Amino acid sequence: MIAKPAPLLQLEKLRVEFHGTAGRRVRAVRDVDLEIYEGETLGLVGESGCGKSTLGRAMLRITEPTAGSINYLGLDITRLRGTVFRRTRADLQMVFQDPFGSLNPRRTIADIVAEPMLRARGMSRADAQKAVGDLLDQVGLGREAGARRPHEFSGGQRQRIGIARALAPSPRFVVADEPVSALDVSIQAQVINLLTDLIRERGLTMLFISHDLGVVRHIADRIAVMYLGEIIEIASRDDFFAGPAHPYGEALLSSVPTLGGTSARERIELAGELPDPASPPSGCTFHTRCRYAVDRCRVEAPALREVEPGRQVRCHLPLLTVSKGAAA
Ligand code: SF4
């Protein structure tokens, strides 16, 4: 039996709560357990508002978790402070959907990209200058781009700058949050190809967050599906796209005709909107929209459990079982 590799990052019961209206607590991330293995790209998918961006930000403590732990190389990141936290955090970087908002318009690209090398890695200015040129070449902008300022670039080029800045401190793990969803389709493919090359060349581990299953299919090794702050399915990319085991994943996949396998695959309309995270439904939180729901689903919350090797599902009646006509 082949031993399972140790995860690079391990989340245990990670929770993020916000203050909602009328003093209500909104649990945006609900006690998530998740392992991300070195060198893999994990695609995190789900509807807008499901908590996937909040989870990605919490993993880097851009948003502070309310409870739970994030284990990275034997350290619980949620407990780190001061210099140890800053040094550790340099290993963990983020590519944002809109990098322009975080690029100082008065600084040159070379200064913007050099800053984390100087601050987080303590490089000399001469070394940083050379490394910036190499990095700008690597992301396809060319080293001469370093003398220019952010407003001189197109959307796709700005995302390349965002990627260069995220890679500047030589991280081991990157969260890419909808990195191509604001770009034209033709540019999306270029940026995805760039990310794929960088992952391979640098041995990066990545959490790739997207609502677009077509994009995720190109880049992810495994897929995690999120619904109302919970992970409801984790599977290899091939298993997931061959047929999700959770009814929500089944509906998501069916809404993308070119990805739904055969043209005979039924299109499944999800009933209603995503419920209010401040007052999630009882039992299985998906029961209000699930076409397979039975009485048990309304009262008993399913646990995330392994239903076949490498596949975990949070459902009393995973589709693998339903299709065989048996209940769990
Ligand atoms: Fe649907 Fe029930 Fe499974 Fe929830 S537990 S996804 S309601 S079948």
Q: Please work out whether the CB of residue 228 comes within 6 Å of at least one atom of ligand 1.
A: no
What per-residue confidence (pLDDT) applies to 53? 96
Q: Give the Cα separation of 86 and 80 in Å (integer).
A: 9
Question: Is residue 3 packed enough to be buried (19+ CB in 10 Å), middle (13-18) or exposed (0-12)?
Answer: exposed
Q: What's the mean pLDDT when you consider all of the chain?
A: 91
Q: Please work out whether the CB of residue 287 comes within 6 Å of at least one atom of ligand 1.
A: yes
What per-residue confidence (pLDDT) applies to 320? 76
The amino acid that residue 311 corresponds to is R
CB atoms within 10 A of CB 200: 10
Question: Is residue 245 packed enough to be buried (19+ CB in 10 Å), middle (13-18) or exposed (0-12)?
Answer: buried
What per-residue confidence (pLDDT) applies to 259? 53
- How far away, in angstroms, is 143 Cα from ligand 1 center? 53
What per-residue confidence (pLDDT) applies to 263? 47
What per-residue confidence (pLDDT) applies to 325? 44
Residue nearest ligand 1's atom 3 by CA: 315
Q: Give the Cα separation of 201 and 39 in Å (integer).
A: 11
CA distances (Å), origin 315, targets 78, 245, 247, 249: 30, 9, 8, 11
What per-residue confidence (pLDDT) applies to 258? 61
Q: Which two tokens stand for residue 299?
A: 């009262």
What per-residue confidence (pLDDT) applies to 268? 85
- pLDDT < 70 regions, the chain: 1-4, 257-265, 321-328
What per-residue confidence (pLDDT) applies to 231? 98
Shortest-distance atom of ligand 1 to CA 284: 4
Cα–chain center distance at 18: 20
